[in-house]
């Protein structure tokens, strides 16, 4: 007997693990609520009737048990994801500007990652306002490629 994640009648919420194909094919979005109609032990698929009337047949990892997220919670999640993308983009821009400044200072048209890391390491070491541990962490992050 297999152990099932959901039982018939359970209320489930679609997660963001649902494929883009399934989203477009079934007009389903993460956060939609449904009720488990049946279970297929072959491949552990659940047949779920969604609030929009659609029936979808998906694996258990596409669903979460429990109450649906409110619109506010979903908006907050979207904002948090957008802010994370903005921060990643800002970090990319800062790193790329740093690489350009390095290339301009050494007068090179070709970027050399090892030279850049060595140069940046020396720049970190020369900063007198940083403690040894701060310098060590900055150099370690540079070596790790972060």
For residue 59, give the H/E element and its range.
strand 55-59
Q: Tell me the residue range of the domain where 60 lies.
A: 11-65
Task: Kindly state whether residues 76 and 139 are assigned to the same domain.
Answer: yes
Here the CATH number for the domain that contains residue 46 is 2.30.30
Report the pLDDT value the prediction gives residue 46, as an integer from 0 to 100: 83
Task: Kindly state whether residues 99 and 36 are assigned to the same domain.
Answer: no
pLDDT tens per residue across span 3-27: 678 888 888 888 888 888 888 887 8
Residue 5 lies in a domain: no
**CA 26, chain centre distance (Å):** 24
Q: Is it the case that residue 124 has pLDDT exceeding 50?
A: yes
pLDDT tens per residue across span 26-71: 788 888 888 888 887 676 788 888 887 888 888 888 888 877 667 8
Residue 138 lies in a domain: yes
Report the pLDDT value the prediction gives residue 73, as an integer from 0 to 100: 79
Percent pLDDT > 70 in the chain is 95
Cα 16 from Cα 63, distance rounded (Å): 9
Q: Is it the case that residue 98 has pLDDT exceeding 70?
A: yes
**Residues 6 and 50 sit within 8 Å (Cβ to Cβ):** no
Residue 57 lies in a domain: yes
Average pLDDT, the chain: 84
With bands split at pLDDT 50, 70 and 90, how would you rate the model's confidence at 1?
very low
Helix (H, G, I), strand (E, B) or coil at 45: strand
Q: Is it the case that residue 2 has pLDDT exceeding 60?
A: no
Percent pLDDT > 90 in the chain is 17
Cα 6 from Cα 60, distance rounded (Å): 8
């Amino acid at each position: 007997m297999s152990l099932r994640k959901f039982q018939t009648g359970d209320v489930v919420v679609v997660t963001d693990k649902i494929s883009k194909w399934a989203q477009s094919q079934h007009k389903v979005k993460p956060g939609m609520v449904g009720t488990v109609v049946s279970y297929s032990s072959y491949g552990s698929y659940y047949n779920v009737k969604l609030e929009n009337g659609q029936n979808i047949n998906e694996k258990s990892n596409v669903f979460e048990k429990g109450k649906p997220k409110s619109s506010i919670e979903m908006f907050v999640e979207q904002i948090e994801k957008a802010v994370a993308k903005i921060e990643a983009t800002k970090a990319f821009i800062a790193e790329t500007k740093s690489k350009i400044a390095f290339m301009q200072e050494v007068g090179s048209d070709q970027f050399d990652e090892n030279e850049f890391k060595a140069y940046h390491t020396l720049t970190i070491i020369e900063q007198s306002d940083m403690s040894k541990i701060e310098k060590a962490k900055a150099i370690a992050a540079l070596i790790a490629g972060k």
